[in-house]
Chains A and B, each alone.
Chain A
Amino acid sequence: MNEQSLWSIFINACLINNFVLAYFLGICPFMGVSSKLSNAVRMGIAVSFVMLVASICTYGINLLLQAIDAPYLQLISYIVVIASTVQLVEMFIKKFSPVLFRALGIFLPLITTNCAILGLALFQTNRGYDFIESIVFAFGAGAGFTLALILMAGVREKLDLADVPQLMRGAAVSLMVAGILSMTFMGFAGLGT
């Protein structure tokens, strides 16, 4: 494994196969939290952090499951690990940085049901990444998620001022914007190969 392949894993997870815009993972927070830029930034950071921790934990769990030869426990153990990781991260942040904790607020517990985290754990197992590759993959996915969230929030803040037809308001117009964003991200295909 060389430097080049690590870089391509990062670019791949962040831009080419962006979790939100190419795999549709984490659409719920993407639609729900992206109405204000400040919230979007916080949510993005929180998700990236949990992704990193969850990636390390699920790597360990996977080794253990392989050792005792019980692949059917994969899904159940992953979801338990992710749920408890979120809880742990929450307690940790509360203890060490109450300011950050207040800023993140309700977004932390919501991360448990974010498909991007479970998706990350499953993808890294399916693709057989080693420890370093998993961490880089988690970094890239988190950065990509944050990027997509911030871009979307920027567009939606402007959209509030625009004259959108009555029928298009809400989810319909957000999906259209997401579609256009997704098309622009297709322009990154070919990078990192």
Chain B
Amino acid sequence: MAAKPIKIPVVSETEQETNTFLNGLWQQNPVFVQVLGMCPTLAVTNSAINALVMGLATMSVLLMSNILVSSLRYFIPRQVRIATYILIIATFVTAIDYVIQAVSLEIHNALGAFISLIVVNCLILGRAEAFASRNTVNKSIQDALGMGLGFTLALLLLGIIRELLGQGSLFGIAIFPENYENWIIMLLPGGGFFTLGLLLLVFNWLQQRDTENSQ
């Protein structure tokens, strides 16, 4: 499952920056390649709008925590770093929780406890530990944007598939004709597992084809 190494060993500064960004979006996609942050991925993707809000919320928490962690990286003692990261993340999640509540109470109710559960999303802690604590603020922002966007897109894709098949609609607008028989299973937990399993299959196939082509 490990991603392929980048082909060109020596890259210029600007190229490296786009690489950091694109890495998260595709080659190291948090959901499809690293299989991180599964709880929200499966739990809130029963409609496209929930998936989008969840993705954006995670992305903003990731962005802010990456910025703070990387700018404080010389001040955080190594022994207590994990606890510090979790506190930083929990603070931003609380803020985002109140923002969503203020903007749309309906979506806040639909997502329920899962907004608070962004705290324990392994993706955010993983990026803080593996990337932001070792790189400059600028690069950490690139990384957060790439990973966050990759996560949001993956969530959105799942949400679109599940809502389209399960309710015949997209963002609440009916797409399929009246006599379309809804696949209720897609809205239920089982459907989430199946859809993600199939998407992983497609992703594996695409990556395998890429490797074969480049050889």
Contact = CB atoms under 8 A, between A and B. Distances in A.
Contacts of B90: 75-76, 79
B208 A75 contact: no
Contacts of B120: 79, 113-115, 118
A122 B205 CA distance: 39
B39 A31 contact: no
Interface stretch (A5-13, A19-27, A51-59, A97-105): A19-27
Contacts of B138: none
Contacts of A172: 197-198, 200-201, 204
B35 interface: yes
Interface stretch (B10-18, B64-72, B169-177, B185-193): B185-193
User: Which secondary structure characterizes the binding site on chain B?
Assistant: helix
A186 B113 contact: no
B117 A122 contact: yes
Contact of B190 (A80, A168, A182): A182
B93 A75 contact: yes
Contacts of A74: 94
A72 B98 contact: yes
Q: How large is the interface on B (under 10, 10 to 19, 20 to 34, 35 or more residues)?
A: 35 or more
Nearest to A168: B201
A74 to B, nearest CB: 8
A86 B94 CA distance: 22
B10 to A, nearest CB: 33
Contacts of A168: 201, 204
Interface stretch (A88-96, A139-147, A173-181): A173-181
Interface string A135-174: 0000000000000000000000000000000011011111
A76 B113 contact: no
B86 interface: yes
Contact of A22 (B83, B91, B93, B189): B189
A183 B201 CA distance: 20
Contact of B193 (A25, A123, A178): A178
B116 A83 contact: no
Given A26-B39, A75-B90, A118 B117 contact: yes
Interface in A17-57: 21-28, 31
Contacts of A193: none
14 contacts: A24-B192, A25-B117, A27-B39, A28-B36, A28-B38, A76-B94, A115-B117, A115-B121, A118-B116, A176-B193, A179-B192, A182-B188, A182-B189, A183-B190
